[in-house]
Chain A
Amino acid sequence: MIRFDGVTKTYADGTTAVDDLSLTAPTGKITVLVGPSGCGKTTTLRMVNRMIEPTAGTILIDGQDTAAMEPAAMRRGMGYVIQHAGLFPHRTVLDNIGTVPRLLGWDRRRTRERSLDVLERVGLSPDLAGRYPAQLSGGQQQRVGVARALAADPPVMLMDEPFSAVDPVVREQLQDEFLRLQAELGKTILFVTHDIDEAIKLGDQVAVMRVGGHLAQMAPPARLLARPVDDFVADFVGRDRGYRALGFRPTPKLPLRAEPTLVVGESPSDMSGQWCLVVDDRRRPLGWVRPGDLRGPVTVADLNRGGTVAVQGGSLRATLDAALSSPSGRGVIVDPTGALVGTVLAPEVVALVEEDRVTQAEAGSSP
């Protein structure tokens, strides 16, 4: 657990970067610091491992005052992922990853084995081990940055915009892998980003900061979307928050309709019929066809793949989106193996949303 207690940082030139900050990052959870550029996120993060000394207040790690710890030793016990990766350009990928283990005095063999292991964990091929950072793509560099922070298996990780320098598709991939990794490792993570969507996706709780280093609101993502405390937070959280909040509500059991299906190569029995769902040999949905448009048996080229697919029991957002995006208006629901279970209509999901809202309101935990 990392606890900030009335922490203030005023730089030599008089800039107050962080102002009387108090917050707790619980053990084993991801706490995200989010806010516009210059609001003091990096300063906050760097005060934890004392790369920056607070002007006032205390920071406690598992109840121990960091001011009393020896900085270099403390830093080796915390993973740090730096903005823009900050890899050592003159050391190979493997040597970059093995940095902290070597500082901790591990021998070469153990460091090497561990580094290869972590390399694989972050989804990189061992073929990259001997490359220099300049020979990697941006996404690969970010992965190496994460691997380097993980190498000595520290309980605490400080991450400064680790996924900011890559395109949206790669970023999404990195985020998903990061969540998968965290589910396995259960680190105590302080994560900095200026991207509210990233904060909401990754955070167990989210601290919104505003320029001047003030904490505007600290809450779990669902609550942040549902109950922004003021205009600044509401504005920062942004549009579509009603819809995005559904991402945190599980879909209750609902009656699904059975969906007649076709496989590729078959011809529909009723050529005049409406949209028809095509599945593969294991009943996994492939796409929709309109029998009227067909000249013969269904081919892969005939498929309309516009509809999203929701997993049964997944979020209301995913379920509603499946219905809204389906060309037939019937949202496709699958089981965890990806096999078709049935379909739902948008009005049915909306009814569930309303029901969910009412129960929540009665339970008193949401508006």
Chain B
Amino acid sequence: MSWLGGHLGEIFQLAWQHAWLAGLPLLVGLAIALPLGWFASRNTRAYVALVTSAGLLYTIPSLALFVLMPLIIGTRILDPVNVVVAMTIYTVALLVRVVADGLQSVPDDVRSAARAMGFGVVRRLVMVDLPLGVPVIASGLRVAAVSNVSIVSVASLIGTHQLGDLLVDGFNRAFAPPLVTGIVGCLLLALLFDGVIVWGARVLTPWLRGGTA
């Protein structure tokens, strides 16, 4: 406990780092996955190609991707941008399929109704497919959030600081308090992200709350 008391400031600093290293890629990844997923949802061949390559991307070990990043995008070795970009790639890989499936989750008769009323392609996306896809997309986002929080901790090995540092420190010294703090911190952060996404999805889907007549 005395260890914890003495390191509170540092812990919050690391937690904050961790939050944005995991959170920013979530937002950027969603912004990229939306158009890609939309394209995939409209074209079977694009769907197969995108979902397959996304699956392959996701199998690249995170450490390898972190290390390769400077070579690919020409950043400095210690630049946290490496982590942000790598995490964005993972997020996109997870979300492309989810977005495509979410946009296709609109019932057939609703989709036909939209066409019959004279919706254009873009308007249908914004006013019908996207709002109705929110529950599916949000569930994918929850998975991505938790997975990001856990993968980011590996970035300590390439010198980007966040809660993973506590794990490394605890492991090196065979000292429990930082180890436990790091694990609990990651857990709380994952829960926080999850809560925010669930809350956001709820706000965006008021029609799912009314109950039935």
Contacts and interface: CB of A to CB of B under 8 A. Distances in A.
A131 interface: yes
B115 interface: yes
B8 interface: no
Contacts of A99: 117
Max count, chain A CB within 10 A of own CB: residue among B110, B112, B116: B116
B212 A82 contact: no
Nearest to B134: A90
A51 B116 contact: yes
Interface residues of A, number: 32
A103 interface: yes
B113 A134 contact: no
Interface in B91-118: 107, 109-110, 112-118
B207 A76 contact: no
Contacts of A90: 128, 131-132, 205, 207
A86 B213 contact: no
Nearest to B207: A132
Max count, chain A CB within 10 A of own CB: residue among B107, B117, B128, B212: B117
Nearest to B116: A80
In the complex, which range does the number of interface residues on chain B fall in?
20 to 34
Interface in B62-115: 107, 109-110, 112-115
Interface in A102-145: 103, 131-132, 134-137, 140
B207 A100 contact: no
A192 B109 CA distance: 16
Given A84-B109, A89-B110, A135-B213, A49 B205 contact: no
Contact of B115 (A75, A131, A132): A75
B210 interface: yes
Given A80-B116, A82-B109, 6 more contacts: A80-B113, A80-B117, A86-B112, A90-B132, A103-B119, A132-B206
